[in-house]
Amino acid sequence: MTTIVKTDPENPSIQSIETAAKTIREGGLVVFPTETVYGLGANAYSSDACLKVFRAKERPPDNPLIVHISDMEMLKEVTLEVSDEILKKLEKVWPGPVTILLQKSPKIPGTVTGGSSLVAVRMPEGKVALEVIRKAGVPIAAPSANISTRPSITDSRHAIEELDGRVDLIMDCGPTPQGVESTIIDISGGGCTLLRAGAKPVEELEKIFGPIKVTDFSRGLHESTIPLAPGMKYRHYSPTKKLYLASNVELLQKISELGEWREKISIISSDEICRNSKLQCTGLGDGSDLDVIARNLFSALRELDKMDCTIGLIQPFPEHGKGLAIMNRIRKASSGLIEDLDSINMLLQ
């Protein structure tokens, strides 16, 4: 049976924090909000507890978990020696939506890292997440709180719909502010490589870490064969209905104005396109505000499954700033690319 605890994300009750922390210490599973998405957490030091995360999510065992910490002392416990230079850089991005790949300490079981010697670590910014970790006294291993392959969860109502009965506790704290997961970079080998685009834009991180290599799998163009971090190997973020990415905004706008497809196609786009669409349409917000687009993306993907349609069609966005993360999620959620009207006709036959 799942306990649901409602609390204010900006001013969480002491009782809610203590209840969640106690559940973690006792080897249970807790769904909690971060500043990015909801996480499904367990004691990172307990292999048995972390195995429950994989079972609850139906997650492949080689897909690593991110270890969430509350302070730099905890970082020293979960990793091997970290240089003063790296520590100074981390102090500029933590707490915040940035995950770093480092050499793991023996205290972190291989269950958490998918057998890798590297561990993904971050210090979340959200008050609830930080307080639960501090009160629990142990780092929390947590992927996004959704069934594997499904869109990540950015609102507690979706967490309750999807995970009630699968976990011990769900913290009901409403929507999360960022809407996409943390940015993951690998600094374990001396250089800096982007493994997953996320809430912290690469352009901002380069001011701290120097040049960052942006890989094709961090753009969502293809999957990595070796999942060093979450989001690299497996299909992610997908609604149950087939979703397709339009190759350009002009094509999507043209399709949205063809009313004969109203019963078959649902559009996910900026509000500007939705206002003139003759098709079913879910608006993501002002197309020029990528922060708002990111915040609404996963909820819109979930909304597609409630639409009376055959397929979904989604708008592309510029790949700068948070747009890189948005397009990573869209590509990984999509079943293919639509380049012309004939492609649509073939799908609907």
What is the tens place of the pLDDT at every residue in 10-44?
A: 999 999 999 999 999 999 999 999 999 999 999 99
Give dist(CA 100, CA 91) in Å, integer. Answer: 12
pLDDT over 90 at 232, yes or no: no
pLDDT of residue 127: 96
pLDDT of residue 347: 83
Give dist(CA 71, CA 131) in Å, integer. Answer: 11
Give dist(CA 30, CA 309) in Å, integer. Answer: 35
What is the tens place of the pLDDT at every residue in 59-96?
A: 988 899 999 999 999 999 999 989 999 999 999 999 99
CB count, 10 Å around CB of 47?
A: 15
What is the tens place of the pLDDT at every residue in 238-273?
A: 899 999 999 999 999 999 998 788 889 999 999 999
Give dist(CA 124, CA 348) in Å, integer. Answer: 44
pLDDT over 80 at 134, yes or no: yes
Residue 342 vs residue 292, higher pLDDT: 292
pLDDT of residue 228: 61
265, 269, 271, 275: CA torsion to nearest 10? -30
pLDDT over 70 at 234, yes or no: no
Mean pLDDT of 290-318: 95
Cβ-contact 243, 333 below 8 angstroms? yes
Percentage, residues of the chain above pLDDT 90: 84
Mean pLDDT of 290-303: 96
Give yes or no on whether 3-219 and 242-348 have one common fold.
no
**Token pair in block for residue 102:** 């480092």
pLDDT of residue 132: 98
* Confidence label for 222 from pLDDT (cuts 50, 70 and 90): low
Domain residue extents for the chain:
3-219, 242-348
pLDDT of residue 237: 82
Residue 240 vs residue 227, higher pLDDT: 240
pLDDT over 70 at 230, yes or no: no
- Mean pLDDT of the chain, nearest integer: 93
* Confidence label for 227 from pLDDT (cuts 50, 70 and 90): low
CATH class label, 242-348:
alpha beta
* Confidence label for 223 from pLDDT (cuts 50, 70 and 90): low
pLDDT of residue 22: 98
Q: Is the Cα torsion angle 241, 330, 170, 79 positive or negative in sign?
A: positive
Phi–psi pair at 122, nearest 5 degrees:
-150, 155
pLDDT of residue 36: 97
Q: Helices 341-348 and 249-256 meet at what angle, rounded to 10?
A: 50
CB count, 10 Å around CB of 334?
A: 21
Give dist(CA 162, CA 145) in Å, integer. Answer: 9
pLDDT over 70 at 152, yes or no: yes
Chain centre to alpha carbon of residue 63 = 14
Q: Identify the CATH homologous superfamily for domain 3-219.
A: DHBP synthase (3.90.870.10)
